[in-house]
């Protein structure tokens, strides 16, 4: 697989097979991802890999919180205001996901079921939690952690694995802190659900869109 094929072929996976991912495979991916660039080679990310019983404990507890309607208390504030053109794209992916699942917008019950699936990491047998030190200059560390997260996803895709980067996995940081023994000194940024994709699922196969480069690139020449 070329780098370009990995970049254009990776997509968020929202239904996983239950097959476990061998630890050596995850270790290999994380070893390679260490070569991601960062401000001054600081490599500010700290990664926690959850599998097995601790992951099941998390899945159940995160699900319960969603069922109980608990508000997210993310370490990194969830943006509430978007410029119009970004808000439009955000709205479109929401609609596309529901239509791939055959859920009409007004079917609140089915929509909630999907959010419950999301809270349970779409059945992924592994989750990587990406953190940065609370004390570091947060803005650049966030950029750095984004680079390593994308690198992990591309390496996983290259090995036939699927990923979904998930804010929904870190909505309740205290839950993760207690299950994964993540210290208070770390900000929990995002989770990556990892596993083998269920290739037959429509939610993993709908046509994705991107803005044309003319909308995001300005040439000055
Ligand atoms: C920081 C971040 C948080 C995300 N959180 C979620 C999430 O909670 N649930 C989800 O289903 N997808 C989540 N996604 C996946 C995006 O929806 C997805 O990357 C985007 O729609 C582009 O689709 P693609 O990854 O298939 O190319 C997240 C992505 C990023 C980068």
C-alpha 202/C-alpha 97 separation (Å) is 9
The two beta strands, 162-166 and 186-195, are antiparallel
Provide the pLDDT for residue 136.
73
196 CA from centroid of ligand 1 (Å): 17
Give me the residue label for tokens 């700290």. 46
Cβ neighbours of residue 143 closer than 8 Å, sequence gap 6 or more: 39
**Three-class SS of residue 106?**
coil
Q: Which CATH class is domain 3-80+121-202?
A: alpha beta
- Per-residue model confidence (pLDDT) at position 164: 98
Domain residue ranges in the chain: 3-80+121-202
Contacts (Cβ under 8 Å, ≥6 apart) of 210: none
Helices (H), 103-196: 108-119, 138-158, 173-180
Angle between helices 173-180 and 52-67 (to 10 degrees): 160
For CA atoms 49, 194, 167, 68, the dihedral sign is: negative
The alpha carbon of 165 and the centre of ligand 1 are apart by a number of angstroms equal to 5
The kind and range of the H/E element at 188 are strand 186-195
Q: Is 14 in the pocket of ligand 1 (CB under 6 A)?
A: yes
β-partners of residue 41 are none
Please tell me if the CB atom of residue 15 comes closer than 6 angstroms to any atom of ligand 1: no
Closest-CA residue, ligand 1 atom 19, reads: 12
Query: Residue 138: its pLDDT value, please?
Result: 85
Question: How far is C-alpha 186 from the geometric centre of its chain's CA atoms?
Answer: 18
Report residue 77 as tokens: 């504030």
| Cα distance between residue 191 and residue 64, in whole Å | 18
CA 100 from centroid of its chain's CA atoms: 19
Strand 186-195 to strand 126-133: parallel, antiparallel, or no bridges (unpaired)? antiparallel
pTM above 0.95, yes or no: yes
DSSP 8-class letter at 202: G
Atom 15 of ligand 1: nearest residue by CA position: 165
pLDDT in tens, the chain (221 residues): 999 999 999 999 999 999 999 999 999 999 999 999 999 999 999 999 999 999 999 999 999 999 999 999 999 999 999 999 999 999 999 999 999 999 998 999 999 999 999 999 999 999 999 999 998 778 999 999 999 999 999 999 999 999 999 999 999 999 999 999 999 999 999 999 999 999 889 999 999 999 999 999 999 99
Which residue's entry shows tokens 């508000």?
71
Q: Please give the pLDDT value at position 142.
A: 96
Count Cα neighbours of 217 within 13 Å in the Cβ-side half-sphere. Answer: 6
**Encoded tokens for 111:** 């929509």
């Amino acid at each position: 697989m070329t780098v370009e094929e990995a970049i254009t072929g990776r997509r968020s996976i929202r239904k996983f097979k239950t097959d476990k991912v061998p630890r050596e495979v995850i270790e290999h991916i994380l070893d390679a991802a260490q070569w991601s660039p960062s401000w001054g080679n600081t490599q500010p990310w700290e990664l926690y890999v959850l599998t097995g019983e601790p992951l099941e404990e998390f899945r159940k507890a995160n699900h319960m919180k969603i069922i109980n309607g608990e508000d997210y208390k993310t370490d990194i504030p969830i943006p509430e205001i978007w410029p119009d053109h970004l808000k439009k794209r955000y709205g479109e992916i929401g609609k596309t996901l529901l239509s791939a699942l055959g859920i009409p917008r007004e079917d609140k019950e089915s929509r909630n079921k999907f959010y419950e699936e999301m809270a349970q990491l779409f059945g992924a047998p592994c989750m990587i939690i990406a953190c940065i030190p609370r004390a570091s200059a947060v803005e650049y560390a966030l950029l750095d952690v984004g680079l390593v997260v994308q690198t992990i996803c591309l390496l996983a895709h290259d090995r036939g694995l699927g990923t979904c980067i998930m804010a929904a996995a870190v909505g309740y940081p205290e839950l993760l802190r207690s299950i994964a023994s993540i210290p208070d000194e770390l900000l929990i940024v995002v989770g990556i659900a990892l596993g083998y994709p269920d290739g037959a699922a429509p939610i993993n196969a709908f046509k994705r869109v991107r803005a044309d480069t003319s909308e995001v690139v300005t040439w000055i020449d």
